[in-house]
Amino acid sequence: MLWIPINRALDIPLNKQVYQQIREKILNGTLQGGERLASTRKLCSELNVSRNVILEAYEQLVAEGFLVSYKGSGTFVVDGALLTQSSKVPSKKRTEEKIEEPKKIDFRSGIPALDLFPRKTWAKLSHHIWHDTNSTHFGYDLPEGRYELREVLANYLLRTRGVDCHPNQIVITSGATQALTIVARLLLSANDTAIMEDPITNDIQTIFKSSGATIHSIPVDQSGMQTSLLPQDQQPKFVFITPSHQFPLGGTLPIQRRIHLINYARYKECYLVEDDYDSEFRYEGPPVSSLQGLDPHRVLYVGSFSKILSPALRIGYLVLPIELVDKCRQLKWFSDLHTPSIDQLILARFIKEGYLERHIAKMKKYYRNHRDFLIDCLQTTFSNKIKILGYSTGLHLIVELQNIDFSNAMLEQIEQFGVKVYPVEEHAIMKGNHNNRIILGFGHLKKEDIQEGVSRLFRAIFNK
């Protein structure tokens, strides 16, 4: 297929856009001498333009010697029209008339619908806080965070996630990444062992490996970590899991495996680190309680507001067993003294006055609708060529294609069609088991972008 992006928002006529892009492809060698172009009927159908647009572009290229047309045989690129890079000097006029590339549709996961952030409510609460707050709040603060936030957060987590803790067991962090970095410094030293799900986000692997620890991976299936494979001959410092919504494959850990994990941690006298990833946005079945609620003495619970509200907020938290609190506070102080106090006070009011739960309920409906739309687009476009996984919770799903290898070459080919997807294999510890799977995030995309992105993805993979 001859990929020619058409931009109807430009003042340049459509036939001129087609002409310029074919001419450019011939000059830079993308279209080579002797190569046959698509018929005018086929190309006008693919580009959704009138046939006259393509005829006029082809006729101009023939007149200038770039193409030659043979009746009954088709239209071909002439030999000798390749312009070497060193001799190619673009003119000012050509620079001004450069055709814009098609809008890139990025299926990155973990990005919320930023345009639906509750700005008015946040601004109102912010105004009240800035106007009414005591001047002492503008100074240095406690490393563990404002008590106002930790108190409402403890109540909120107990009510919505079954997390059992006192406000003094919570340390407020600058996002989940800082929380996990502190966990690594808190529990790991060189030559220690940590157990992790496989696959799991590459960033978390990097954080834990940076301590010099050895990572022992446990493969996941549709129900999360396969706890029956936990090693009996090792003494890990902790087991890292995402039980409510495994990233990236999307499974939810059943109670039998949760009990197995708790018993394993007790037997090994190690901790469990629970990343409660995307748990708020569950679309299938009842809400799932936290692992922490089963054994608060063994579980470190990590959460953030990046996906519920906005990554720009940079507020996360750690819920710790009591014996780890003092050392964690010290590490937090060494890290950045404290998380911005005013933002904490605004968030505390936002939660206390019920705005957070109302926002989550609203966004859950919104994301479910977009998830269903993405699934419908995938099934309509790809038919029986795909399998869709991990769609019950969160802001992404997994697409599995038979006999397709999402190699670097394939991903580059997809990007040439103006769409970006993310391979599951990128997050695998043991490589080679997920080459035919990609992650499609949908939370931040408009429906028209989802539909166009799926269409481009199909054309890129199958050369349609």
Q: Where are the domains of the chain?
A: 14-94, 105-113+359-462, 134-356
Task: Quickly name the fold that domain 14-94 has.
Answer: Arc Repressor Mutant, subunit A (1.10.10)
Q: Tokens in use for 89?
A: 């000097």
Q: What are the angstrom distances between the C-alpha of 447 and each of 18, 369, 372, 390, 438?
A: 28, 10, 11, 20, 19
Domain 105-113+359-462 homologous superfamily, CATH? Aspartate Aminotransferase, domain 1 (3.90.1150.10)
- What pLDDT score was predicted for residue 275? 96
Phi first, then psi: what are they for 205, rounded to 5°? -55, -45
Cite the beta strand spans of 234-374 per DSSP E.
Answer: 238-241, 271-275, 299-304, 316-319
Q: Using alpha carbons, select from 341, 309, 314, 349 the residue that is nearest to residue 124.
A: 349
Query: How much is the mean pLDDT over the chain?
Result: 92
Residues 188, 211 contacting (CB under 8 angstroms): yes
3-state DSSP helix/strand/coil % of the chain, to nearest 5: 45, 15, 40
Q: Is the pLDDT of residue 88 over 50?
A: no
pLDDT tens column, 149-171 = 999 999 999 999 999 999 999 99
Q: Among residues of the chain, what percentage have pLDDT more than 70?
A: 95
Which pLDDT score, from 0 to 100, does residue 4 have?
82
| Average confidence (pLDDT) over 297-304 | 97
- Among 327, 243, 233, 334, smallest CA distance to 282 is for 243
Q: In this structure, are residues 257 and 225 in contact, taking their beta carbons and an 8 Å threshold?
A: yes
Fold category of 134-356 in CATH: Aspartate Aminotransferase; domain 2 (3.40.640)
33/114: higher pLDDT? 114
- CA atoms 423, 429, 431, 433: torsion sign: negative
93 falls in which pLDDT band (50, 70, 90)? very low
Token representation of residue 173: 């962090």
Q: How confident is the model at residue 464 (pLDDT cuts 50, 70, 90)?
A: low
